[in-house]
Amino acid sequence: MNLINKIRLYYNPKHGTFNPRNATARFDNIAMTLSFMPLLDWIAFIWFLASWIGYTYFARYKQKSTSTIANQLEGNRVEWLERMLKREMRMPDISSIGILQRNVTFFASTTIFIIAGLLTVLGSTDKAIPLLEALPWIEIDSRAAWELKILILVISFAYAFFKFTWSMRQYNFAIVLFGSAPDLDDPLKDRENYIKQTNWLLGRASHSFNYGLRAYTFALATLGWFFNPIVFIIASTIVVAVLYRREFHSATLAALYNASHHSNEKQLSDNG
């Protein structure tokens, strides 16, 4: 139904007035369509989406003014590239990028198996629901609700897969750039431009990998939905809190900072 027909459903063009009967009927149809799952489950699902999308935009905005793992790594990569250009033997640097690429490849391959397993479960709904209903603390309101939850997991891992594969390709491109790195006696402008462009590409690869890992963590939070919508809400909130602490206040961030700021070191702790 296009936009004009939707307007006509609520608006009587003959009399130029709003038609409350059509609006009420339409609302009842929507409510009936969504009635396969309790209201609390829909609230939990909306909270999950708001947590994931909201944190993504928050972290992207916050890193512009605050030290994070992402922008701190950017500075560390610049130092790495500057030192690499001073070395004649650069195979260890290319090997390091290859190791990063293999890590991403592992996650991409694992994600494919996870998606295949979830699709198998989705196709065996008639067998899966009776088995899970026999377990304590598992709530299954309807077949449609069960399938929606599985689909959310499939979509989450599919998103992660695309992020991992794009990160893998970007690391491939970075290997090419490492192989074409300028020599130390090349003009300073060429070397600075190389460092800038290569660092940007490595940053994009790192961000794509990070988004894939973030999808994993929120997919794990979705597992709480199979127990109870309240558990789902709590799990989504915990994921946001853990991600925020790790990206903005972790000892790992402090170690990365200390590696390039020797005169103003931050205190390290054993809490990660």
Q: Does residue 266 sit within a domain? A: no
* 73/157 same-domain check: yes
Range of the structural domain that residue 6 is part of: 1-36
Two structure tokens written together for 223: 């597992």
Q: Is 24 a residue whose pLDDT tops 60?
A: no
| Position 237 in a domain | yes
| Bridge partners (DSSP) listed for residue 18 | 11
Query: Is residue 238 domain-resident?
Result: yes
Q: Is the pLDDT of residue 53 over 90?
A: yes
Q: What percent of the chain clears pLDDT 90, i.e. is strictly above it?
A: 40
263 burial level (CB within 10 Å; 0-12, 13-18, 19+): exposed
Q: Which residue has the higher pLDDT, 74 or 218?
A: 218
Read off the pLDDT of each residue in 226-232 and give the average, rounded to a whole number.
Answer: 88
Q: How far is CA 77 from CA 50, 64, 185, 221, in A?
A: 33, 18, 21, 32
* Burial class for 15, CB neighbours closer than 10 Å (0-12, 13-18, 19+): exposed
Token pair, residue 131, equals 């088995």
Instruction: Give the length of the chain.
Output: 272
Residues 140-160 have a mean pLDDT of 87
Q: Tell me how many domains the chain contains.
A: 2
- Average pLDDT of the residues in 117-134: 78
Distance between alpha carbon 69 and the CA centroid of its chain, in Å?
A: 16
Name which of 118, 115, 113 is nearest 158 in CA terms. Answer: 115
Give residue-wise pLDDT tens across range 165-215: 999 999 999 999 988 888 888 898 999 999 999 999 999 999 999 999 999
